[in-house]
Amino acid sequence: MAGLRTQVFKQVICVHHVYNGAKRFASRIGFIGLGNMGGSMAKNLIVKGHRLSVFDTNPQAVANLVEEGATALRNPADIAKNVECVITMLPNTSHVLETYQGENGIFQGIQAGTLLIDSSTIDPSVPKQLSSLAKNQGAVFLDAPVSGGVNAAKAGSLTFMVGGQADEFEPAKEILSCMGARAVYCGPSGSGQAAKLCNNMLLAISMIGTAEAMNLGIRLGLQPKLLAEIFNSSTGRCWSSEMYNPVPGTMENVPSANNYEGGFGTNLMVKDLGLAQDAATRTQTPVMLGSLAHQTYRIMSAHGFGNKDFSSVYKYIQEIEKSR
């Protein structure tokens, strides 16, 4: 049954590329959650020829997508009634549960055969719950959180970590390829979220380490660009130093070059690290540096950095120095 449903689904919503100058059938996709990440992901779907219906609680975010050619609908239920696939990109677990299960939620309007893809970062137990509810209504739910940040969302080069039914991965991959460079099947429902939480914990740790090392080097008289070049050609190389350096003036087109605006907020990192801590507690797994990173970002949030990009840990370190 699942295999037959997959074949039908692939015929209906698979991505069709431009051929001999003519655009072929474009699938109907709903997108809910048009923030820094979701807005760019949705735009890439439009660019690749999909007909998009969108919803967000922020009217300006919706208006931006309508200008790109999307259709705005009133609520998640209306989205689900009009599409073959729904993608959600939301801030936290409570937003996801409300969007799927709440009044006028996705499950109030979902059609049999619909593919649901959640790219939020949430508790790994939630996809299992939503997958079961979707199955009861003849639909399929996949958890597919992303890695790569705002710049990768704009460039369509995200990595998707996918959990759910293995035989539904390929048709989902067709859609995910419009927004990312790579989609990796991680296992049953919740596996994508598990991979994402581990990745973000490592990211948080490496960003703090990069900020501390850069700050020390600068205080020792080294030029920040030179120090970054050394890191990135030596054993200290990591994504935080090479692609997302936290020191202003070191790189262009990253949050540190824009007063730490427009990136992955500190509050969101606190949320993700909290989920990782919960998972570590539940599995009795020691995460010493993960715990320290969680505490660091919680303190940053309490000191006014909550809405700044998480790389503002470099600025926070400087403020600690000034307060001594």
Catalytic residue among 196, 271, 308, 315: 196
Q: Is 196 a catalytic residue?
A: yes
37, 43, 44, 50 alpha-carbon torsion, rounded to 10°? 130
Q: Which two tokens stand for residue 140?
A: 């399929």
Q: How many angstroms separate the Cα of 252 from the Cα of each of 143, 177, 238, 242, 259?
A: 32, 26, 17, 12, 12
Q: Provide φ and ψ at 190, rounded to 5°.
A: 95, -15
Gap between the Cα atoms of 62 and 323, Å rounded:
42
* Residues facing 175 on adjacent strands: none
Neighbour tally for 317: CB within 10 Å: 18
Task: Count CB-CB contacts under 10 A for residue 147.
Answer: 19
Give DSSP secondary structure letters for 61-111: HHHHHHHTT-EE-SSHHHHHHT-SEEEE--SSHHHHHHHHHSTT-GGGTPP
| C-alpha closest to that of 56 among 207, 70, 7, 48 | 70
Torsion of CA 216, 221, 225, 228, to 10 degrees: -40
Residues annotated as part of the active site: 196
